[in-house]
Structure 1
Amino acid sequence: MPTSPHGWGTAHEAHLPWGRLHPESTRWQQVPDRRAGHDRRRRGLGRRVRSRCPMRRPRMMRFDLLAPAGPAATAPVAAAAETAADLGLDALYQAMAEQDPVVLEAVRAVLPLSLTDAAVIRYRQQVLADCLAHPDAIRELYEIACRATGIRRYTVGRSRRSNGMLRLALQPMTELIATLRTLREACDRHRARFDSAGLNELTGSLAAVLTDDYLHRVDTQLAALEFDHGLRFGATLGPGGTLTGLTLYDPPPPPARRRLGFDRARPQSFTAPETAEPGTDPLTQLKDRALTTVAATVSHAADRIQDFFTRLRDQLAFYIGCLTLHRRLTAAGVPVCLPVVHPAGAPRLNCTGLREPGLCLSTPDPANTVTGNDIDADGRSFLIVTGANNGGKSTFLRSVGYAQLMMQAGMFVTADHFEADVRAGVFTHFAAGEDRALTHGKLAEELARMSHLVDTLHPNSLLLCNESFAATGDRDATTIATDLFAALTTAGVKIVLVTHLTAYAHARHTLADPGDLFLRAARATDGHRSHRLTPGAPEPTAHATDLLRTVFPDGRG
């Protein structure tokens, strides 16, 4: 394709610069025109070429909707499969995808990968804000990218003749160029509406690279590669009479009579000697060598363009999933907000109306039936949640995990207000069911998982524990939890613990550590649960008798 200062790779990778092509090296060369006394391109397509060397590596057209240019200050941390299962992330993925497999794959890849650079998170939030403000524009760009990635590419066997190979390479290339033009036109229409650096970089790059002049030259070059007026190539004699230096020239111009419209195109041909066997004619072999290289170059250029569209589609797919989730939540009356991101350092957690999105998606009328929590845990690194059974403790735990993951993916969260510091990954230790293989008991299984977590955790990670060590007695569990959680918090790990270990909770409460925050599931005197958490010292009971009266209202049992 024509040389562009912002192309997709080196000259032979991304386009077909005008000039002569050496099939042995896939290089085009400038031809000395002795008639003019100086170097110049031959007439025809060559006269459109700039004077600079076509082998110069052009700059790539760069864009990234997920992160700014340059390396991030810190690397992201992936959530483990256990975390996704414990939090129920798959339901969120399905809700975001709405049966679009590309979106499903994108959100599964992006959401669990926690960004740890606050600047990158804010960059992604700005792109998302543009997407939320102009959803129709983003969906249009996504549909164009999907259409481009669906353009059929043909596999060419070794036995196919070179002219057939070239035609099969040109067909998808022509469609891709037309789709590029459609993409640029769409970006031109929407460019002024975007405020984010990511979308402005994309639309600005397309406007700078895919100019009308550039696209016209691309179309002209593709039309020339049809070779409607024959081929022109040359070679030199090497040792032993072998042909070397095979060079394909610019296609010859149409005859004068045809340029004036007086003659129809006649196929260009030659007559091979009758003694030549099929496939062994030297001229045919030379033509095949030249055209095979051109076909490979065109095919590779199409690969690069389709790779560009694939990357654009996959990145836009994440934001399409966010748009879908935002639409579903807001239609149900669930509050959402872009969180305030604090860099890693002092522990921060402050939220108003924090809800679990999975519960909001699965509950009828979530605006009135799902209760939000207001928590001020700034400066606290250990949150201990106790209180009544069925009081919303586990739901709150999952809502914190969801919010942290969604914030560090650059998404909105289900709350009226949310702010937190960046954490080096979200990890979970939830009570598991019985081991059906009977290889070990529940306590041994819990300890094995915790041992693996300790080896995996980073300083400044977030650990969510739901009824850890409940498989053993209160005294033994207290002994295990005391040393373990003290060591983890000292190492900088932030812990949110839901527990019924009253002995441990009371022992920890007596320490009066300023980094601890005790929350309690609210319960009315008549046993009613509001599913709200409030600060409060741990109670000696989980009020299981309330559940007993619910199950056996007449007092039986």
Structure 2
Amino acid sequence: MRPHLRYPPGAPVASATLGETVAADLGLDAVCAAMAGGDAVLLAAARSGLTALAADAATVRYRQEVFADCCAHPDRIRAMYEIACAATEVRRWTIGRGSRPGGKLLLALQPITELMTLLHRLRAECDRGAAVFRSAGLTELCAQVRATLPDEYFDEVGTHLAALDFEHGTHLSVALGPGNKPVDPILHAPPRSRPRGLRRRSGAFEAIDDFEAGATALTRFRSRALAEVADVVSRAADGIGDFFLRLRTELAFYLGAHTLRQRLEQAGVPVCVPAVLPARSPGLHCVGLRDIGLCLAGELVAGVDVAAADRTLLVVTGANNGGKTTFLRSAGIAQIMLQAGLFVAADEFAAPVRSGVFTHFAPEEDRTLTRGRLAEELAAMSGVVDRIGAGGLLLCNESFASTGEHDAARLAGPLFAALVDSGVTVVVVTHLHEFAAARSAEARPADLFLRAGRADDGTRTYRMTPGAPRPEAHGADLFRQVFSAPREAGTGY
């Protein structure tokens, strides 16, 4: 059995491509930590789930339905999760290569007995969940467990496990091969009671004068007969354990997402189920989009509205400290949350499923001093270009700002034009006015230019409004704010 809570049964397991720096640039570690709440299992599941993004709209909707069930019935999901956790903690014993099959069988019986008890508990939970779950994923899981594990199954397995104790000895037979040598030992159902006296059977046999040699031969035949049974029991325990491990991982991801949603709702942050636009659609649409990382930190975050559902290049310019990078991160996290099948921190959000999500943020100085920042930027961008394809999303933050503006414009202009012409949607936060102005002058209908909002008194509105790029970044506003701040007594600052 397989849980099939993240991919529909029979569907190819395909994930969108993620850039190597996406997690660090977008602050996904903070999101995963909030999902986990200090639980190592939930943390691992969060990291796995937010990087194994669905590559098609059908899988996204499949996950959204499962998550909706988890939010509607968290107690049922948590009960199943706790059973899966208990199963993964069942101790499995190992045995050396030279040990006898009887020992291997004995060590496999205890864990499989415990696992069967947990399977019975899971079947009971699925009986209860079948009446309330509505998603295809959880409905199919419950139906699969109930069909595979009826009462008759547990009765039969219980009978077999009890028989494998061999309380009244073993019953095996062998065939006679060339030279009347015994071959092909077969283990039969054990006797129900220990036999008394000798059982007379017709047939000729040759007595063995050496009793110890005969005993050794009998032990060898018994071991050969038990070897296959021991392997079957061990493989069965492995199969059940693997099922419970997968179930724990998939349920942990949705439980972590439910915890994150509760935290955001308690903080007054709006959340919504994102809409999936048709495949290969450009751009995005959002109302009240927020950065989850800042919301979790307790910051008051202004929602951003952007209508760019038909745009392939978004260029964001404007005032320093105006929320441009925050918007870039929020758009990236929202895209990842969408393709993970979860919610988005916004009033409304719509975007297509991307073939990949990549970031290119201005790097730190190379501490090895082997190359400068521009060389680092070019190497990182080359890696992105090698991996990104049509339908991908590229988020750039101050790319090529480490060189002169004229040279940066000569680099950025042709590069971003080629990416957009190849079917990539690009969102650029930049202070490179020469590049932005030259691109704006081309008046391409698929381009959208946004400016970070600023009031007349210099106050930042943290809104993105459509507007042509301007050369000023209003750094003087920050200068006045910092240097006019009251100085602490005795500090000299």
Which TM-score bucket, shorter chain as reference? over 0.9
- Do the aligned residues in 1 keep the contact of 2:3 with 2:243 (CA within 8 Å)? no
Cα displacement (A) at 1:471: 1.0
Partner of 1:436: 367
Equivalent position to 1:449, from 380, 383, 394 = 380
- Do the aligned residues in 1 keep the contact of 2:23 with 2:29 (CA within 8 Å)? yes
Q: Distance in 1 between matches of 2:417 and 2:160?
A: 70
Equivalent position to 1:420, from 337, 351, 364 = 351
- Do the aligned residues in 1 keep the contact of 2:31 with 2:292 (CA within 8 Å)? yes
Aligned ranges for residues 225-374 of structure 1 at < 5 Å?
225-254=164-193, 275-277=210-212, 281-362=216-297, 364=298, 366=299, 369-374=300-305
Of 458-467 and 435-444, more deviation after overlay is shown by 435-444
2:467 matched to 1:536?
yes
Q: How many residues align?
A: 478
Find the residue that maps to 2:110 and give its secondary structure. helix
- Taking structure 1 as reference, are residues 160 and 116 closer, same or farther at Cα in structure 2, changes over 3 Å only? closer
Q: Distance in 2 between matches of 1:413 and 1:70?
A: 28
- Taking structure 1 as reference, are residues 345 and 554 closer, same or farther at Cα in structure 2, changes over 3 Å only? closer
Q: Distance in 1 between matches of 2:56 and 2:143?
A: 25
Equivalent position to 1:95, from 34, 38, 43 = 34
What do the CA deviations read for 1:268-316 (whole angstroms, capped 9, x no partner)? xxxx999544895222222222223322221111111111111111111
- Do the aligned residues in 1 keep the contact of 2:313 with 2:420 (CA within 8 Å)? yes
Aligned ranges for residues 451-530 of structure 1 at < 5 Å?
451-530=382-461
Of 142-151 and 98-107, more deviation after overlay is shown by 98-107
- Taking structure 1 as reference, are residues 62 and 109 closer, same or farther at Cα in structure 2, changes over 3 Å only? closer
Partner of 1:8: none
Partner of 1:30: none
Aligned ranges for residues 196-207 of structure 1 at < 5 Å?
196-207=135-146
Q: Distance in 1 between matches of 2:21 and 2:215?
A: 64
Q: Gapped runs of 5+ residues in structure 2?
A: 197-206, 488-492
Amino acid at match of 2:336: L
- Do the aligned residues in 1 keep the contact of 2:66 with 2:136 (CA within 8 Å)? yes
Partner of 1:7: none
Find the residue that maps to 1:125 and give its secondary structure. helix
Partner of 1:549: 480
Find the residue that maps to 1:451 and give its secondary structure. helix
Q: Distance in 2 between matches of 1:486 and 1:165?
A: 65
Find the residue that maps to 2:21 and give its secondary structure. helix
What do the CA deviations read for 1:113-167 (whole angstroms, capped 9, x no partner)? 3322100100010000000111111111111011111111111234544443322
Q: Gapped runs of 5+ residues in structure 1?
A: 1-60, 258-271
What do the CA deviations read for 1:312-367 (whole angstroms, capped 9, x no partner)? 111112112211211211121111111001232231411111001111111x2x4x
Q: Distance in 1 between matches of 2:257 and 2:312?
A: 30
Of 179-188 and 105-114, more deviation after overlay is shown by 105-114
Amino acid at match of 1:525: D
TM-score by length of 2: 0.92
Cα displacement (A) at 1:482: 1.5
- Do the aligned residues in 1 keep the contact of 2:3 with 2:246 (CA within 8 Å)? no
TM-score by length of 1: 0.82
Q: Distance in 2 between matches of 1:167 and 1:186?
A: 30
2:147 matched to 1:208?
yes
- Do the aligned residues in 2 keep the contact of 1:154 with 1:169 (CA within 8 Å)? yes
Amino acid at match of 2:346: A
Q: Distance in 1 between matches of 2:194 and 2:380?
A: 80
- Do the aligned residues in 2 keep the contact of 1:342 with 1:348 (CA within 8 Å)? no
Q: Distance in 2 between matches of 1:308 and 1:191?
A: 19
- Taking structure 1 as reference, are residues 78 and 164 closer, same or farther at Cα in structure 2, changes over 3 Å only? same
Cα displacement (A) at 1:110: 2.2
Find the residue that maps to 2:478 and give its secondary structure. helix
Cα displacement (A) at 1:227: 1.5
- Taking structure 1 as reference, are residues 273 and 330 closer, same or farther at Cα in structure 2, changes over 3 Å only? farther
Q: Distance in 2 between matches of 1:385 and 1:447?
A: 21
Of 105-114 and 489-498, more deviation after overlay is shown by 105-114
- Do the aligned residues in 1 keep the contact of 2:283 with 2:425 (CA within 8 Å)? no
2:4 matched to 1:69?
no
> Percent identical across equivalent pairs?
55
Partner of 1:164: 103
Amino acid at match of 1:322: A
Amino acid at match of 1:69: P
- Taking structure 1 as reference, are residues 162 and 456 closer, same or farther at Cα in structure 2, changes over 3 Å only? closer
- Taking structure 1 as reference, are residues 214 and 554 closer, same or farther at Cα in structure 2, changes over 3 Å only? closer
Cα displacement (A) at 1:248: 1.4
- Taking structure 1 as reference, are residues 181 and 391 closer, same or farther at Cα in structure 2, changes over 3 Å only? same
Partner of 1:4: none
Find the residue that maps to 1:309 and give its secondary structure. helix
Q: Distance in 1 between matches of 2:104 and 2:53?
A: 46
- Do the aligned residues in 2 keep the contact of 1:397 with 1:496 (CA within 8 Å)? yes
- Taking structure 1 as reference, are residues 234 and 478 closer, same or farther at Cα in structure 2, changes over 3 Å only? same
Cα displacement (A) at 1:545: 0.3
Aligned ranges for residues 174-213 of structure 1 at < 5 Å?
174-213=113-152
Find the residue that maps to 1:542 and give its secondary structure. coil
Partner of 2:490: none
- Do the aligned residues in 1 keep the contact of 2:365 with 2:373 (CA within 8 Å)? yes
Q: Distance in 2 between matches of 1:252 and 1:460?
A: 67
Cα displacement (A) at 1:228: 1.5
What do the CA deviations read for 1:494-553 (whole angstroms, capped 9, x no partner)? 011001111221221121111111111111111111211111121220000011111111
Amino acid at match of 2:421: T
- Do the aligned residues in 2 keep the contact of 1:279 with 1:285 (CA within 8 Å)? no
Find the residue that maps to 1:385 and give its secondary structure. strand
Partner of 2:56: 117
Cα displacement (A) at 1:242: 2.0
- Do the aligned residues in 2 keep the contact of 1:407 with 1:413 (CA within 8 Å)? yes
What do the CA deviations read for 1:62-116 (whole angstroms, capped 9, x no partner)? 44000112234x9422312211111111111111112222222222222123322
- Do the aligned residues in 2 keep the contact of 1:117 with 1:343 (CA within 8 Å)? no
- Taking structure 1 as reference, are residues 374 and 452 closer, same or farther at Cα in structure 2, changes over 3 Å only? same
What do the CA deviations read for 1:27-81 (whole angstroms, capped 9, x no partner)? xxxxxxxxxxxxxxxxxxxxxxxxxxxxxxxxxx344000112234x94223122
- Taking structure 1 as reference, are residues 343 and 113 closer, same or farther at Cα in structure 2, changes over 3 Å only? farther
